[in-house]
Amino acid sequence: MKRNLCDGAIVSATAIVLALSAIGAADAAPRGKPNQIRYEYVPPKDPAHQPIHDQMKQGRALEHLRELLSPLRLPYPLKLKVASCDGVPNAWYGDEAITVCYELLAEIQKNAPKQDLPIGISRADTMLGPALDVFLHETGHAVFHMLDIPVLGREEDAADQFSAYVMLRLGKEEARKMILGAAYGYNVQMPQGPQVTVPVDAFSDEHSLPAQRAYNVLCMAYGADKKMFADIVEKDLLPKKRAESCEYEYEDLTFAMTKLIGPHIDRRVARKFHEVWARTVTARRARLARP
């Protein structure tokens, strides 16, 4: 469940609202009910983390995440929490709560570049993207567990896929920023350069290597929208060879999300916040349904 990278969850307001509505096919009778998300800004133990706490609280970061996730029909409440973790930069799901450590958020801040990146994402996006990704990755674990969703393959990869899918349901511009920001967050965890050396036991980790996680999220994005993400292939951020299969990889993800998670999305709640997104996904689903 644990993840080495996390985010600063300072997620901007309306852009994020209710991306989940877009997943809701929701014709099966679901257990649980919507509006089950709770949140808590636990005061940090380390005074150095106070600004992160204050920023998030002022920006209503957890409130926005709650809104984003409120259409999920859950059998019991799920709490989103930021808290101190005795110096360990981590995030996890357990005991009906997602905990994201201030230490992890601080690390994300530290890793941000000094300036905006040439690919068109701002310094802020390089913090917001990884931050949102951490919360959504952990939400993936929570959803699989709370809703008894079967996971074929590695759960850590599935949680990454869940996160990428939800990010891609945001408004186009916002989705691009968050996806590229998240990819940046993974990339900076790797040694830099075309040839890298890592300890061999890094391959035994339950998570994919950071570079793989970056390529995977970019592949989902390219598979979802080749136009909007054309430049990531042109600039070789995503190698052409992998890019060829991304459309099919994304279709598989869409199928799984629609079939397994869709029935647990409350369309009424989702629609209330996100009518436009509901229309978008209906059109997308119709396109996918064509032979």
Give residues in contact with Zn ion (CB under 5 A): 1, 3, 156, 159
**Minimum distance of Zn ion from residue 177's CB (angstroms):** 23
First to last CA, the chain: 38
**Minimum distance of Zn ion from residue 286's CB (angstroms):** 33
Q: Could you tell me the CA-to-CA distances from 128 to 84, 223, 265 in Å, in that order?
A: 19, 22, 25
- If the CB atoms of residues 82 and 269 are measured against Zn ion, the closer one turns out to be 82
- If the CB atoms of residues 18 and 80 are measured against Zn ion, the closer one turns out to be 80
| Residue 259 CB-density burial (10 A; 0-12 exposed, 13-18 middle, 19+ buried) | exposed
Name the residue whose CB lies closest to Zn ion. Answer: 3
What are the residue ranges of helices labelled H in 195-266? 210-224, 230-234, 240-256
- If the CB atoms of residues 108 and 281 are measured against Zn ion, the closer one turns out to be 108
How far apart, in whole angstroms, are the C-alpha atoms of residue 214 and residue 92? Answer: 20
Bridge-based pairing state of the strands 78-83 and 91-94: unpaired
Residue type at 249 in one-letter notation: E
- If the CB atoms of residues 138 and 266 are measured against Zn ion, the closer one turns out to be 138
Q: 196: how many CB neighbours lie within 10 A of its CB?
A: 10
- If the CB atoms of residues 55 and 212 are measured against Zn ion, the closer one turns out to be 212
- Give the SS3 label for residue 37: strand
